[in-house]
Amino acid sequence: MKNVFVKRKNILITSILILCLILSTFAFAQQDTNDNENRVKNVILMIPDGMTIAHTTLARWYQDGEPLAMDELACGLIRTYSANNPITDSAPAATAYATGFKTQNRYLSIYPEMVSMPGVGQVDEKDFYKPIITVLEAAKKLGKSTGLVFTCQFPHATPAAFASHTDNRNDYESIAEQMVYNNIDVVLGGGYKYIDKNQRKDKEDLVGYLRQNGYFVTTNWHDAKNYSGQKIWGLFAQDAMHYDFDRKDAGEPSLAEMTQKALYILSKNRNGFFLMIEGSEIDWASHANDPVGVVSEVLAFDKAVKVALDFAKSREDTAVLIVPDHNNGGMTLGTRGVSIDSIMLNSLLKYIRKATRTGLGVEELLGNNRTDENIKKIVSKYYGIDDLTQDEINAIKSAPQGKLNTVLGQMISKRSYIGWTSDEHTGEEVVLYAYHPKNYIPRGVIDNTQVCDYMCEILGIDLYSFNENAYLSNIELEEKGYQVSIDNSNPSNIQLLINKGDKTYIIPQNKNIVIEGSNQYKLKFVSVYIPSAKKFFVSSDILDIIK
């Protein structure tokens, strides 16, 4: 790992003292540093988005104190701050895991132009916004299979950070196109509408592109479950999938089932694989301060952990890492004004155990029928609450669409003595969990970027070499003497034009292709346009095509 840090120093870290302090926090269960001896073929990275210690404590008590599958792997803590903020959002947090570099809030796998946190070195101005190659992209180039499994929509921040590059995490259409052209072998989760030409604003037929390139594309779990090939996009909801407590009526697979399928497909590659699995909606339940949603999603994630861990323990070539990206909600068991002596386990769990739907699930059941009587009936049946006040009934009646989990979350939290300090992310360390077949694991307090360094070390990936000359900007091409212009006449399809002699090379954004007349060439990496900076980045092997 030292080589990785020495190389990074030349790009980001300006203080040798800071570098030494960072390295000093990273210790291993074994002192042997023989790279080959500790290498594995496969890495399974699991991200329970927004999961805190309070979340796992509540989930453990929900199942009568029985340990979670992830408990045996706890080995340290992770610092989560972004390049410009002590409290990260999911985009830079996932970027740190995906690339080994910190970026600023809202950015996905590009270098920041704003750095204000201690220990994060400034980036050279010419590299502002430049895409950073991810561990998934590098693994793919080395012949490994790659996969993403999640319950959110696939262009959402965490999966997006591993296979796209942008300064706007909310630009789902561009992100989706980049992810499609990044040739990921297995994609399972939600978000079909982002590849459907009839629902995309630019009418791009990404489903057609995938099928033309050998992918099985489906929205049906039964068909996906029975698929025996090696390339699949299974998107089982138009947008995000349901919470686990609510999914059965929707016919959606669980995170554990999708994990099992992904491992079955990816393990066919003798060169190994990289798989990222996200428990996406732990975070959303926390934003809503909804303890029922928290239990639903933590337990669903833990079942996926068991699948991954059983797979890894059945062989000698697979490591598993579980790394929350940040805390969320400031959840506590116990709240202000309530004596600890008055909080018994049954009072803490009574209503949470009675709940068979999350707040969003109850919202679906209520529909437009929000009469007093129907509210009382539904809340009693699915939450076990028979003493709703008129104020609470009125709050349920007036809850905006998609926000009933926030309203019901408050009611359950109050009755369960659960406190919340925020409906946003918070900045404390998160728990690190790790499994390695030879027990070569990180320990202590580490930085989120070091998780990527560790994965690259055990996979034998030199991510620095991929990043050193991966991309050129339009400005750098001009400096090399090329006649370059950006065509933004069609805002949904920005293009870089390179003129050389009587030839014009057209490079569309978000794709990995170059068009010259009737000829089409493939690039190593997808092309990226950053509107706010008017910068267009293209894979550096463009020089081999236009020479």
Nearest residue to 414 (alpha-carbon basis) of 289, 283, 287: 289
Q: Which of 90, 109, 267, 527 is catalytic?
A: 90
CA 220/CA 212 separation, integer angstroms: 19
CA 224/CA 381 separation, integer angstroms: 34
- 299's CB contacts (< 8 A; 6+ apart) are 59, 62, 63, 244
CA 27/CA 47 separation, integer angstroms: 22
The torsion angles phi and psi of 353, rounded to 5 degrees, stand at: -70, -30
Whether residue 90 lies in the annotated active site: yes
What are the C-alpha distances in Å from 467 to residues 100, 112, 135? 11, 15, 11
DSSP letter for each residue of 192-237: GGGT-TTTSTT---HHHHHHHTT-EEES-HHHHHT--SS-EEEE-S
Nearest residue to 100 (alpha-carbon basis) of 137, 135, 124, 144: 135
Contact 195, 235 (CB under 8 A): yes
CA 474/CA 483 separation, integer angstroms: 10
Nearest residue to 62 (alpha-carbon basis) of 259, 353, 381: 353
Contact 102, 470 (CB under 8 A): no
Contact 261, 220 (CB under 8 A): no
Residues labelled as active-site residues: 90
